[in-house]
Structure 1
Amino acid sequence: MARFCAKCGTAVDADACFCGECGVPLRPAAAAAAAPAPTAARRAGKLAFLAAGGVLAVFGVVGGLAYLTADEAASPEVFAKAIGKYYETNPAAEARLRCVADLDLEKDPVAVRGFESRRRATMDELVAAGLYAPPEVQSSGGFFSMQSYRYQRTDAGSRVIKDGKLCVAPAIEVRNVRFEQGAAGSTMAAQFQYDLKRPEPWFKGELARQLGRSLPLEKENFAVLELRDGKWVMSSDTPRFARAVAAGRTAVPAQSLGQRVQSWFRTGNPLIGQWRITNSPWLAGTRLVFNANQASVGRPNEAVRYEVKRDSVTVHYVERNTSDVFQIQDDDHINLLSDAGVFLLERIKEGK
């Protein structure tokens, strides 16, 4: 087989080591013939590398899906965080845990009649705490003269008395969370206790003991928690509902992997449309209707505002100033979590 110099193109002998024309070194014929072998080996190695990379990519995708779809594990620490956030974002609910509501402090000044000795003692304690000024004593005329005491609120008192409630601390800290370890599902009940965070300096001694009896500091408080977007969120502190959840009377179906993946690609408001309740015979004929700015849930054509998340839709009823949370199972199935229990709803399709 004829050979040619790669530089100048001159014909050379098969066993020549140099070009006779330009002197460029030539590769031996045997080496040239054997050259394709390493190329084939490299090709095979590249294919093996690509195959291994593909396997790793598959494992990576599967692992990523598992991570993204994994629900947050239920634990006392996770629940304590969820309960704390619930009260941080619900001032009225938190006030029930840190504010005393049975002192009748709505009016300012507070008038106490002379024979109300126990209430006078409480008000005098608040005077000593700097929340009220010493009382102004007044006497009523007539044959049966009676004294009354008028207590004027101080600036310090105005800071801690809100809507007639005496708030003894600005916040709470959740502790001692307990729940049934064997329970499963996307809705669970827990019990907890709490401490007052940064209590007021005057909340001590006899006054603290007296006011503390009106707060559920050492009692078992209840929390209902549900999985939303894979995270535990507290949704209710109603004891009756929590007991129903703990007894297993409000089971909510958990989302499947397919439903969870489907939620990633969902757009718009999945609640829009008509729905019927499927797990309550006495509400079987009830229809819930959701439009862009209105809803018929107990009341017809009520103005609403929607808060759409990946796995849930919160409906805010404008006039009632209340809200409902609907968990999205898939495009045709949702759950309504309420104080009366959990209602399973199915979409009503056209023609049905």
Structure 2
Amino acid sequence: MAQENREAYIAWLRDEIEKHCNSEGRYEAYWDYNDSITPDQLFNAMEHFERDGYASPLAYLEVSLVEDYYFTTPMEEALLTAISQDAKSAPDGLGKHWDESDDIWGDLEAAGYQGIDANLDDLLSRSSFNVNVFFATEAERNFDMGSIVNAFGNDYREPRLEDVDAEDLDNALSYLVNQQGHSIAEVYGNADNAFIRSVREEIDENSSEAMSELCALVRMDGQQMLDFIEKRNEAKDSLVLPKDYATVGIFNQWAGCGGMLDIRLEKDAVLPLSMVRGFQVEGQPDPDGYTVNETYDLVGSAWMPVHYREGTETGVKEDYSLALDKARSADASEAHGSDEPVSLKAAVKESREASAALADNDAHENIGQDAR
């Protein structure tokens, strides 16, 4: 090919690259609404990016996509097809040079082609994960996740306060009660508060015989998932569950059971990421047991967004020995004045009856107003 023809041909290819590629000369991936990065790809990126010499998990992900034959080959074929179609109407016979070239990729590189753009930001934003986040204190982990049931009982067993000790109370559910501004003694007592009532009801509905954990259902896109994994590993900041729509409660992933996941927060729950014992991604098998959705078959809206807060709250935990002494004293006082000892189940029953009576009263008032 004469030099003059070569220059004209490369100039035409340069226009083609400008037409079909982005401003960086890269052919950009288009992601459909149902495309998603996989959890395994995210986990691999977080685990291996430093070892393999990448600056970030995102850089690792992008290269791993571009080097994937099944991702790159169809895109390259699509680009070649588009240029071949344009070559049919290229001026001055320039399309013939394209058709007869024995080094198409060399020609494209000479014209400024820079390769495939995985458009990773778009893919991550389209990805959606329903994540079950499990919380536990260090003491709770040391007791093989039996502290919640030991301290508060379950759907068929009342806690025996004389058998409960302060270490049993050092668990994630107790932490949440304290973080919401309440004492554990209120859970054992007769406090008439919507949050405390919901905690009692969650305990009363928990069908787990032993192991239980505080669980929050969280929705994340791909970038948020990367952020969560990184922040969890750093364990410096806090996860914030918004009070208006958070789904949080008691779950047992090992047996596939739990409460109703319906604790009603008084304010945003701020939980240290250092307390995140583990997490599940729905749709991925859990080697330890069952996911929340496998157990309950919930609607997707049960998983809701969260955000982060820098640092952690201090002075959240109360003195559990003092709280237990207070609960025992209140229990003894109540028992002395009645035939029946105070119990969590009795408190739950009273709460439900009061709620039902209030709802019935509201209904009668509405009927009266309608009649007027």
The TM-score range, normalised by the shorter chain, is: under 0.3
* Higher helix fraction (1 or 2): 2
Compare the two structures and name the one with the higher strand fraction.
1
Please tell me whether Structure 1 or Structure 2 has the larger radius of gyration of its CA atoms. Answer: 1
TM-score between both structures, scaled by the size of structure 1: 0.24
Which structure is richer in relative contact order (CA contacts within 8 A, separation 6 or more)? 2
